[in-house]
Amino acid sequence: MRRKRILFVDLDYFYAQVEEVINPSLRGKPVAVCVFSGRNEDSGAVATSNYEARKLGIKAGIPIAMAKRLSNDVILLPMRKDLYKGISDKIMGYLSTLGTTEVASIDEAYVDLGEITLEEAFKLAKEVKERIFKDHGLKVSIGVASNKVFAKVACEMGKPDGLVVLDDEKEEKLRSEIEVSEIPGIGPVLREKLNELGVNKLGDMKNLDEYKLRKVLGEAKAQYLISLANGTYDEPVKVRQRKHQGRYVTLKRNTRDPNEIKPYLFRAVDEAFAKASGALPMEIHVVAIMEDIDIVSRSRTFKHPISKDEAYNTCYKLLLDILREDKRQVRRIGATLGKLKKVDGSLDKFFDFKLDGNSV
C-alpha cells in the first residue's frame, strides 16, 4: 500500500567516525573527539566518542580529565568542525535530491519520501546507506515510518549501522508499548510528570483525562503526545533556515567576577554577529558553562531586531542575573543570537526609524 513515508538519517558517532575513515588505524580503539579549551592539556570536554569509548563510560559532555581517568588507552583528538561540516553538507545535499529535507543537526536529517510502498521505502533507504558509505566511507543508521517521531524512534532501534522500516502494524504496536522516556522531546522532567499521572507508556494515554494532561504539561506538549497516541501526529518535514548564531569562549581561569568575564562575553557577541552576516537578532541568550560543566542560561526576547550595542548591554545584564542566582564559578561563556532578521537599507536608517517610535 502506498502511503506517506518519512526517512530519518543519523550519521553514527559522526565526528569520531570521520576520524576513523581518515585514519583507519583508529578502528577498534576507543576514540573521543574533544573540544580543548586551551588552558592545559586536560582542559575541555568530549564532543563525541565511538562505541568502543562509550563502553568505557567515555561519552559526550564529560571533561577530558575524566575521560583520561576512565581509560589510559582512549585516543583524544581535537575537533575539526570545518572538516565535519564540509562532509555533512555534501551528504545533506544528496539527501535533498530525494525529497524535502529537514536538516535537524550536523549529523541528522529527515527526508519526506512522499507516498510510496513499504518495499520502495526499504529499497530507497538501503540505497541511501550504500551511497553514503560508497562516497564517504561512513556508516549510518536509518529509520522509516509514517511520521517524523516514529522515523527517529525506528532509527534508534537499529543503531548502530541499522535500517528499520516500520509498517502500520509495528507503528500501532509502538503507540501502545513505547515508553514515554523513549519518545523524542520527552526529557526527565516531563517523564516524571507523566509517570506521576500514571503514564509510563504512550498507550497509557487512553486512560487519562485530556484536560488534566493539558493542565500539567501545557497545551503544546499535551497535544504532541495526544496526537502521537491517537495516530494523527503529522508534523511536516520543513526546510530549515538558520535563524540563530552562537559562539562560546573559554575563560583563562574559573571566576565569578563579572568584569573579568565581560570581555570574553563581548568577544562571543562579536563573533556571533560576524557569523550572522548582517542579520540582527530579536532574541539573546547567554550560556554559562560552570566549573562542574553544568550549563546555566538566561535569555531575553525583543519585539524588534536589536543592534550590537544593545546586545552587549543585554548580555551583560543576563550574565549578572546568572551570577546573582548561581554561586558557582564560570568556566566558559557564550552568546547566541536568535530569531535573526535581515534588515533592508542602512542600519542607521533602520535604527532612526525605530527611535521615532514606529514598530518594526
User: Does 135 map to a domain?
Assistant: no
**In terms of residue numbers, what domain contains 304?**
244-355
Give residue for cell 556508516: 139
With respect to residue 64, please indicate whether it lies within any of the assigned structural domains. Answer: yes
Domains held by the chain: number: 3
Residues 326 and 261 in one domain: yes
Q: Does any domain span residue 62?
A: yes
What is the pLDDT at residue 292? 80
pLDDT-derived band at 277 (thresholds 50, 70, 90) equals confident
Residues 6 or more apart in contact with residue 178 via CB below 8 angstroms? 153, 201, 202
Backbone angles phi, psi at 198, to 5 degrees: 90, 15
| Helices 258-275, 308-325: crossing angle, 10 deg rounding | 140
Q: Is the peptide bond before 188 cis (omega within 30 degrees of 0)?
A: no
Kindly state whether residues 252 and 346 are assigned to the same domain.
yes
pLDDT of 353 above 70? no
Q: Domain boundary residue among 80, 98, 115?
A: 80
Residue with the larger pLDDT of the pair 75 and 252 = 75
Does 143 reside within a domain?
no
CA distance 79 to 87: 14
CATH code for the domain of 48:
3.40.1170.60
Note the pLDDT of residue 346: 45
End-to-end CA, the chain: 50
Q: Indicate whether 216 and 292 sit together in one domain.
A: no
pLDDT of 128 above 90: yes
Q: At 267, which CATH number?
A: 3.30.1490.100
Average pLDDT estimate for 190-208: 90
Identify whether 74 is part of a domain.
Answer: yes
Q: Is the pLDDT of residue 360 over 90?
A: no
Whether residue 59 is predicted with pLDDT greater than 90 in this model: the reply is: yes
265 shares a domain with 228: no
Residues 256 and 277 in one domain: yes
Residues 296 and 264 occupy one common structural domain? yes
- Please say if the pLDDT value at position 352 is more than 80: no
Residues 250 and 347 in one domain: yes
Residues 350 and 283 in one domain: yes
pLDDT tens-digit profile of 296-345?
899 999 999 999 999 999 999 999 999 999 999 999 999 999 988 876 54
pLDDT on residue 344: 58
What pLDDT is recorded for position 145? 97
Is residue 119, in this structure, part of any structural domain at all? no
**Distances from the Cα of 145 to the Cα of 83, 120, 155, 173, 302, angstroms:** 31, 13, 10, 13, 39
Active-site entry in 20, 52, 102, 108: 108
Of 238, 269, 287, the domain-final residue: 238
202: domain CATH number is 1.10.150.20
- pLDDT of 356 > 60? The answer is no
- Asked whether residue 51 is domain-assigned, the answer is yes
Judge whether 19 counts as a catalytic residue: no
Domain end marker among 188, 215, 238: 238
Q: Does the pLDDT at position 42 exceed 90?
A: no
Q: What is the pLDDT of residue 347?
A: 46
Q: What percent of the chain lies above the pLDDT cut of 90? A: 74
Q: Which three cell numbers stand for residue 94?
A: 544528496
Whole-model pTM over 0.75? no
Mean pLDDT of the chain: 90
Q: Are residues 266 and 234 located together in one domain of the fold?
A: no
Tell me, yes or no, whether 164 lies in a domain. Answer: no
Q: What is the pLDDT of residue 350?
A: 44
